[in-house]
Chains A and B, each alone.
Chain A
Amino acid sequence: MSGKHVLLIEDEPHIAEAIRFILTRAGWEVSLETSGAAALGRIADEGPDAVILDLMLPGRSGLEILTDLRAKPRFADLPVLMLTARGQGRDREAAERAGASAFLAKPFANGDVLACLEAIVARAHSVRSA
């Protein structure tokens, strides 16, 4: 149970399904949220060990969600992997400023999602235990 629950916030059903399949096979418990507006509530309710957050969501952008999340002390260190469909430049900067732990541009390789997620969770652990 330790560090193995991830909440995936993604409105594209097929992408979500693929990510869920990959992470589940790697031993993660994956729950899914498709609405940007409901995202914050889900995070608070479930208290996941990490969040994978799409940047372009209907209702509420991933950046706004992340900014609100980081404003809450309880979630200041929650590992968040940001996904975006818009290349590297400005989105990456904005995601970093908003407090993303890592950033992945679509389209990505399946291995990258898993590696990125494991890396930010491991980093958060080492910071906490240090």
Chain B
Amino acid sequence: MARSALTGTRIRERRTALRMKQADLARAAGISPAYLNLIEHNRRRVGDSLLEQLAQVLGVDPVALSEGAEGVLFDGLREALASAETEGSAQAAGLPELERIEEFVGRFPGWAAVLAGRQARVAALERVVESYSERMAQDPFLLASLHEVLSAVTSLRSTAAILVETEDIEPEWRARFLRTIQDESLRLSDTAEALVGYLDELEEAETGLSSPLEQVEAWLSMRGWHLPELEQPDPPEPETLIEGVAELASGAARKLALAHIARAAEDARALPLAPFAAALLECGSDPARLAQRFGAPMGAVFRRLATLPAGIEGAPPAGLVICDGSGTLTFRRAAPGFTMPRFGAACPLWPLYEALTRPMQPIRTVVDMAGRLPQRFLTYAFCAPRQPAGFEGPVLMEAMMLILPPPPERASGERPVGSSCRICPRADCVGRREPSILSEA
């Protein structure tokens, strides 16, 4: 019946949540962006068939966009209250009466809708700010470099054309223009070099450590990912290893580090360094063979291979990612060229996630990592369940993927993957879940 006044707001909210552009949604639904804009600001009513189409593109039930009204309205108000509480402004004004929320919506539906709509708008704007701050880091330099490149190319093109097209050019002019070509070529190559250097740095830039996991990674990377203390027959107390470590700033990070040390000590006991190094030389870096040789769990072999000290003969340079059952990365050691996302989820096509759906089955895949310099890697992925709370406790899944140098020959079945959708250039990937900032730029 009477469609809620906020259908447009919900369409907009859903679209921005998907980080979809207005123009893209409009095209997919077969309407003009201007018309969609009016709809999204609740200034045009949406017909049934159009609503269905929009809902389909946005991947939601049409009802959720139209009369899911009340529920959505309530949620919006609760959200507004929650964010007011975190900002502290609710205390100042006196806490709103949450128990009377139904009375509020019933008596003042218009005001309630406005408030919930504002809340949705605030949330959408917050996301916009987030994505802008993400881009800000690179843009000023890239824009300046682009300007340099265009200027150099412009004078090269004009000058070269003059030299080619002007038959009766005076010798002094010819000399002058040749010098211009020399100068501008040098400038172009300098700019290109600076750009390459800048992009390389971007990859390495650690702009302030934030999450506990990142702090642990920073500490391990400083230690070369290997803790020789644990190789002794009588390893020291784990706490002594992290005492006074500046990288482990937060309590959460220290806790994670202790868990890592405990596990690494276990792995070192199961796979002592000297015999493990000998086995590596003898049977190569196939994790399943090594696991069988030592009667050790596959996971221990994966971790051991990725945290060996430098200079072990036959040990390939290895990266490792571990995720839990939710797909959240819980350990990351990047291999050079295998870019791992700093925030959010990784590429859904990683064999890591395939392993999650096929526990206990070894998965060997050669992947082709998208990037400015596409690179191949050999990956071994494996997933095993754990029951830390006993037989009746919850079963926790843990998947791991070891990242090694590729075999020299290309074979069929190699898999194109990326780092994560936002920074992946594969525009027409079937696994894409959100648009890339690369193709937009």
Contact = CB atoms under 8 A, between A and B. Distances in A.
Interface of A: 12, 14-15, 17-19, 21-22, 25, 56, 85-86, 106-110
Nearest to B159: A18
20 contacts: A12-B154, A12-B155, A14-B159, A14-B183, A14-B184, A15-B151, A15-B154, A17-B180, A18-B158, A19-B158, A21-B162, A56-B147, A85-B146, A86-B147, A107-B150, A107-B157, A107-B158, A108-B154, A109-B161, A110-B161
A85 B158 contact: no
Contacts of A21: 162, 173, 177
B162 A12 contact: no
Contact of B162 (A107, A108, A110): A110
Contacts of A18: 155, 158-159, 162, 177, 180
Contacts of A22: 158, 162
Contacts of B162: 18, 21-22, 110
Contacts of B180: 14, 17-18
B440 to A, nearest CB: 13
Interface of B: 146-147, 150-151, 153-159, 161-162, 165-166, 173, 176-177, 180, 183-184
A126 B173 CA distance: 36
A25 B159 CA distance: 14
A55 to B, nearest CB: 10
B289 to A, nearest CB: 56
Given A21-B173, A25-B166, A85 B150 contact: yes
A12 B158 CA distance: 13
A11 B12 CA distance: 44
A60 to B, nearest CB: 16
B151 to A, nearest CB: 5
Given A14-B184, A18-B159, A86-B147, A107 B153 contact: yes
Given A85-B150, A106-B150, A15 B166 contact: no
A84 to B, nearest CB: 9
B139 to A, nearest CB: 13
Given A14-B159, A14-B184, A110-B161, A85 B154 contact: yes
Contacts of B177: 18, 21
B151 A106 contact: yes
A22 to B, nearest CB: 7
Contacts of B184: 14
B136 to A, nearest CB: 18
Contacts of B147: 56, 85-86
Given A25-B166, A110-B165, A15 B158 contact: yes
B156 to A, nearest CB: 8
Please provide the 8 A-B residue pairs with the shortest distance between their CB atoms, ordered closest to farther.
A18-B158, A14-B155, A85-B150, A107-B154, A106-B154, A15-B155, A107-B157, A107-B153
Given A12-B154, A107-B158, 19 more contacts: A14-B155, A14-B159, A14-B180, A14-B184, A15-B158, A17-B180, A18-B180, A19-B158, A21-B162, A22-B162, A56-B147, A86-B150, A106-B150, A106-B151, A106-B153, A106-B154, A107-B156, A110-B162, A110-B165
A14 B165 CA distance: 18
B347 to A, nearest CB: 30
B151 A110 contact: no
A3 B231 CA distance: 87
A32 to B, nearest CB: 14
Contacts of A25: 166
Contacts of A56: 147
B173 A85 contact: no
Nearest to B151: A12
Contacts of B176: 17
B151 A85 contact: yes
- Of B150, B153, B184, most buried by chain A (CB within 10 Å of CB) is B150
Given A14-B180, A14-B184, A21-B173, A109 B157 contact: yes
A107 B151 CA distance: 7
A22 B173 CA distance: 12
A127 B362 CA distance: 79
A86 B139 CA distance: 14
Contacts of A19: 158
B256 to A, nearest CB: 46
Contacts of B158: 15, 18-19, 22, 107-108, 110
Nearest to A113: B158
B300 to A, nearest CB: 55
Contacts of A108: 154, 157-158
A19 B157 CA distance: 11
